[in-house]
Amino acid sequence: KAGVTQTPRYLIKTRGQQVTLSCSPISGHRSVSWYQQTPGQGLQFLFEYFSETQRNKGNFPGRFSGRQFSNSRSEMNVSTLELGDSALYLCASSSASGGYGGYTFGSGTRLTVV
Amino acid sequence: SQQGEEDPQALSIQEGENATMNCSYKTSINNLQWYRQNSGRGLVHLILIRSNEREKHSGRLRVTLDTSKKSSSLLITASRAADTASYFCATVDSGGGADGLTFGKGTHLIIQP
C-alpha cells in the first residue's frame, strides 16, 4: 500500500512569489490535512479537506489556501511568500475527518524563502 | 497554538533502558495520539488513546492517559538505537476536531549505544 506522497521534496522560492505544494493521500483516504513545522512555532495545523470540502482551518492568513480534488489529492498554495514561510510542510491523510483516527504523514516539502 | 508541553524536552539514555516521556494538555479532548519524527522527516503514528481509555499497549510502547490531570505518558521499554527520534503528543479536542491535531513541542530522545 503506497504511503502519502508529497511533491516536491525541496523548494527554494523568492520573497513575493507564490508556491503550490502537492499531496497524494493513501488510497481510500478522503481526509487530507496540512501542517506547518518551524523551529520556533513547532507543528501548526493549516487546514483539513474531506471529500473536496474544507472542513477545518487553522489560524493562518488568507495567503495560505488549499483545495482537494475528486481523487482526494490535495494542493496547498501560498501566495506572496514571506521569509517566515520557510518551513517543513507536512501533509497527512486519514480515513476519517476531524482527527478521530490516526493520521499517516508524508515526508514533507521543505520550503525555503530567500 | 500549542496545546501543551512534553517533558522532558530532551532525554538521553543507554540502549536497553526504558524511556518515559510526559505530555500535558489544556482542553477537553476526544483522543490523544503519539507520533515519532526522525531528523525532520515525516511523522509516524505510534498510538492513539481515547478519552475513555486509561492505558494502551503496542509492542514496546505503553501509553497512559489521565484526563483529570490532563496528562499522558509514553513509555518505550528496552530502547534501541533506532528509537532515537523526536516524539510528539497531539490532541484532538472534544468539540469535533476543528483545530485538527494540536501538537506539543516534542521530546528529543537519544539512545546511546
pLDDT tens string, chain A, 114 residues long: the values are 689 999 999 999 999 999 999 999 999 999 999 999 999 999 999 999 999 999 889 999 999 999 999 999 999 999 999 999 999 999 999 988 777 778 999 999 999 999
pLDDT of residue A96: 81
- What are the φ and ψ backbone dihedral angles of A14, each rounded to 5 degrees? -95, 145
Are B88 and A43 a contacting pair at CB < 8 A?
A: yes
Which residues of chain B lie closer than 8 angstroms to A105, CB-CB?
A: 35, 42-45
SS3 A84: helix
Q: Which of B9, B41, B50 to mutate to test binding with chain A, by most A CBs within 10 Å of its CB?
A: B41
pLDDT (average), residues B80-96? 91
Which residues does B15 contact at the CB level (< 8 Å), separation at least 6? Answer: B79, B80, B81, B111, B112, B113
> Given a cut of 60, is residue B3 above it in pLDDT?
no
Q: Which of A58, A90, A98 sits opposite B42 (nearest CB)?
A: A90
A3 CB burial (10 A radius; 0-12, 13-18, 19+): middle
Separation in Å, CA of A82 to nearest CA in chain B: 20
Chain mean pLDDT for chain B: 92
pLDDT of residue A91: 97
> Given a cut of 50, is residue B98 above it in pLDDT?
yes
Chain centroid, CA B55 distance in Å: 13
> Given a cut of 70, is residue B4 above it in pLDDT?
no
pLDDT of residue B2: 46
Which residues does B101 contact at the CB level (< 8 Å), separation at least 6? Answer: A33, A35, A43, A45, A92, A99, A103, B33, B90, B91, B92
Looking at this protein, which amino acid is placed at residue B53?
A: E
Are B43 and A105 a contacting pair at CB < 8 A?
A: yes
Separation in Å, CA of A107 to nearest CA in chain B: 4
Separation in Å, CA of B83 to nearest CA in chain A: 18
**C-alpha cell recorded at residue A48:** 483539513
